[in-house]
Amino acid sequence: MEHMEHECDDGSAARCDVCGLVPLVPGLKAATQVVARSAAMQAVLKRAARFAVNDASVVILGETGTGKEVVARILHANSTRARRPFVAVNVAALPAELLESELFGHGKGAFTGAATARAGLFEAANGGTLFLDEIGEMPLPLQAKILRALQDGEVRRVGENRAFAVDVRILCATHRNLAGRVQDGQFRQDLYYRLKVLTLEVPPLRERRDDILPLARRFLGQERTSAGAFSPSARKRLLAYPWPGNVRELQNVVKHGAALATGEEVRDEDLPEELTQAKPTSRGPLTTLAEVEREHILRVLDACGGSQADAARVLAIGRNTLWRKLRTMGTPAAGGGRS
């Protein structure tokens, strides 16, 4: 399928035929090119392409390290605001008072230490995009101020009365369930609706395994190392690992492998322990209980030479139960009677 073959990283800043985006992300040190080989990630980029040209706020959801900031930068780089600033602020990284003057600026003498007046990030982002990372951690009093700034299109510096008109597009990201925070009273409902006009969900890496090796190769190419590739066994490990820390974890694992590799390939022993402790086969993609049960039953049945009576004994379940399970599983074994 043409769509599956595509990778948004041909090294040019040209618009990509499949997702319609310029896949080059300016302002990122390491990964300037976005890897999106999996159908899931390509679907995200296609959605992003439609959102980029719109001026509405976008909430970007996804687990830690999935690439939420990358997606935010793509949205900006593909918007009519691309030539204006992209300003990112991590809401969780600053205490509330500091965050307020960081966002809105402050007047001269607004507080001890404020020797000169200073513009805030809203003003700095004027005409461009303000990316509020970890929006779920935004303190409630500040949420009210942000809502007012968005509604009025103006900000007031801390300790000053005059207002500055600002025109910013807001993008925000969170690994939290924002709707849940609203229900718990930790996030204002009015701000929530104001922000989540459009939402983009970046899937975890374990749900887009087709991206693992292209990303790993990209990251390896950015390291100074003798190795230019991964050994077949190392590739298996990379593919089998569940990646709780997603793309960022993969990036660190590749750094680890690149640092330890001595030959032309990154091998098993160059990878961190958590990847090599388990056998590659025992750490497959996360599946449902029903799938695990099905696989186990078929394995036991096979080991018992196809005898359902023996298999039922090994499984410690009744023969009728086994027969019923096989029938709902739709296996041919259930069709041949109860022998």
Ligand X SMILES: Nc1ncnc2c1ncn2[C@@H]1O[C@H](COP(=O)(O)OP(=O)(O)OP(=O)(O)O)[C@@H](O)[C@H]1O
User: Which residues contact ligand X (rule: CB under 6 A)?
Assistant: 28, 30-31, 34-36, 62, 64-70, 173, 175, 215, 247-248, 251
Contact call for residues 320 and 295 (beta carbons, < 8 A): no
Which range binds Mg ion by CB under 5 A, 40-48, 68-76, 154-162, 305-313?
Answer: 68-76
Q: How far is the CB of 21 from ligand X (least distance, A)?
A: 12
Q: How far is the CB of 239 from ligand X (least distance, A)?
A: 17
Q: How far is the CB of 221 from ligand X (least distance, A)?
A: 11
Q: How far is the CB of 226 from Mg ion (least distance, A)?
A: 32
Q: How far is the CB of 66 from ligand X (least distance, A)?
A: 4
Between CA 57 and CA 199 the distance in angstroms is: 9
Q: Which does 89 bind (CB under 5 to 8 A by kind): Mg ion, ligand X, none?
A: none
Q: How far is the CB of 300 from ligand X (least distance, A)?
A: 41
Between CA 210 and CA 8 the distance in angstroms is: 13
Pick from 9, 63, 69, 270: which binds Mg ion (CB under 5 A)? 69
Task: Please tell me the total number of residues recorded for the chain in this structure.
Answer: 339
Nearer to Mg ion, 69 or 100 (CB): 69
Nearer to ligand X, 34 or 326 (CB): 34
Contact call for residues 155 and 164 (beta carbons, < 8 A): yes
Nearer to ligand X, 149 or 202 (CB): 202
Nearer to Mg ion, 75 or 166 (CB): 75
Q: Which does 258 bind (CB under 5 to 8 A by kind): ligand X, Mg ion, none?
A: none
Residue written as token pair 């303190």: 139
Residue nearest to Mg ion (CB): 69
Nearer to ligand X, 36 or 132 (CB): 36
How big is the site for Mg ion, counted in residues (CB under 5 A)?
A: 1
Q: Does 137 bind Mg ion (CB under 5 A)?
A: no
Nearer to ligand X, 64 or 320 (CB): 64
Residue nearest to ligand X (CB): 67
Where do the H-state alpha helices sit in 2-153? 2-5, 39-52, 68-77, 96-104, 121-124, 140-152
Q: How far is the CB of 61 from Mg ion (least distance, A)?
A: 12
Residue written as token pair 């259930």: 334
Amino acid letter at 236? K
Which range binds Mg ion by CB under 5 A, 1-9, 24-32, 66-74, 97-105?
Answer: 66-74
> What is each CA distance from 199 to 174, 182, 183, 263, 266, in whole angstroms?
11, 16, 18, 45, 38
Between CA 225 and CA 313 the distance in angstroms is: 55
Nearer to ligand X, 146 or 215 (CB): 215
Name 131's bridge partners: 88, 171
Report the candidate in 175, 100, 105, 103 with the shortest Cα–Cα distance to residue 135.
Answer: 175
Nearer to ligand X, 166 or 215 (CB): 215
Q: Where are the beta strands (DSSP E) in the chain?
A: 58-61, 86-90, 105-106, 118-119, 129-133, 154-156, 163-165, 169-174, 198-201, 229-230, 265-266
> What is each CA distance from 285 to 145, 204, 253, 270, in whole angstroms?
44, 12, 18, 23
What does the binding site for Mg ion look like in residue numbers (CB under 5 A)? 69
